[in-house]
Structure 1
Amino acid sequence: MAGEATRGPRLTLVLGGARSGKSAYAESLVQAEPAPWIYVATAQGYDDEMRARIADHRARRPAGWETRDAPRDLVGVLGATPPGRPVLVDCLTLWLSNALLDEADLAAKTGALVAACTRHPGPLVLVSNEVGFGIVPDNALARRFRDEAGRLHQRLAAIADRVVLVVAGLPLVVKGE
């Protein structure tokens, strides 16, 4: 499989709101490529509700998926994926939240992620929550998160071959085919 041309775009960014269907849509894009597929998970099961969400995501995926956890070292995990293997990252906003709560240098971390995505041979599908459609948050941390997510999405959309917004389970292609 390594060295084969991919059928889909090299880099796809899938955005949408909570429970919009973005993860299922992104999984379908990756599953259109030859297996085995790599699922890079950024969530951490700190409580029962999040553990249940993680379990639901795992149960939905058929055999052929290899899961790699990357709540913080997303760049390192992406760099260690074998060339030619389809990769899904779900989701960037959880990864960004982890970095923000760790008080990491967000400019450096997001810059390193954009560079890693630029280098990645693909196919690579990135999932993220579009959080900029709502009201202005009432606290500085939430406003910073919203702003950082918007900046990250803009940078990734600029280098992506395809950008898709998922609304009510329906994909709307914003860039590419």
Structure 2
Amino acid sequence: MLQKLSLILGGASSGKSAFAESLVVATKAPRVYLATSQAFDDEMRAKIAAHLDQRGPDWRTIESPLDTAHALSQVAESEVVLLDCATMWLSNHLLAESDIAAEQERLLTALSNCNGRIVVVTNEVGLDVVPDNKLARQFRDAQGKLNQAIAAQADLAVLVVAGLPMLLKGELP
């Protein structure tokens, strides 16, 4: 059985979202897709539309690029949430010049207090070269700290590489 909080990490296009979706679908519970991306251009709008079509009608979608903590408070005990993804959520807050430490604490508290089970998708960014600019380095460091904090709280942590899940913590359902 899927535990309270699962963290699925991987690089870009690693298969992490597909793996996370498969965990949620396997529960047979009502599904909530908590979307954190924002459509600023046609390419992103097309990508979002393709993801909606791929998931199908069996998902309730909540778009929450910034106030994800509030969205998580609206989840029923019977539901399973796929938060896709923590990386976009963090990027949104960096670009909005939010207090990252305060927003991270709000998110961690919301994950802990959420009534339903949650699967969080995030990018593992610590395997790349050191970025050449301040904002990129700030993002990489903040993402690493966020991933570590969620992983510490998670019952299950899985790294997906080339579509293959590698168990880091807990037991796969």
TM-score by length of 1: 0.94
Contact 2:73 2:115 in 1 (8 A): no
Contact 1:39 1:87 in 2 (8 A): yes
- Report matched runs for 1:86-165 at 5 Å: 86-165=80-159
Contact 2:75 2:116 in 1 (8 A): no
Structure 2 unmatched runs, 5+: none
- Measure the CA separation in 1 of the matches of 2:131 and 2:46: 27
CA deviation string 1:76-133 (max 9, x = no partner) = 0001111220110000110100100111000000011111111123310000111111
Dislocated runs of 4+, deviation >3 Å: none
Identity %: 53
Structure 1 unmatched runs, 5+: 1-6
- Measure the CA separation in 1 of the matches of 2:60 and 2:115: 18
Tell me which residue corresponds to 1:20: 14
Tell me which residue corresponds to 1:169: 163
2:58 is the counterpart of 1:54: no
Match 2:38 to one of 25, 37, 44:
44
TM-score by length of 2: 0.96
Give 1:32 shift: 1.0
Give 1:36 shift: 2.1
CA deviation string 1:36-92 (max 9, x = no partner) = 200000011101111121122112113310100000110000011112201100001
- Measure the CA separation in 2 of the matches of 1:121 and 1:163: 20
Contact 1:40 1:67 in 2 (8 A): yes
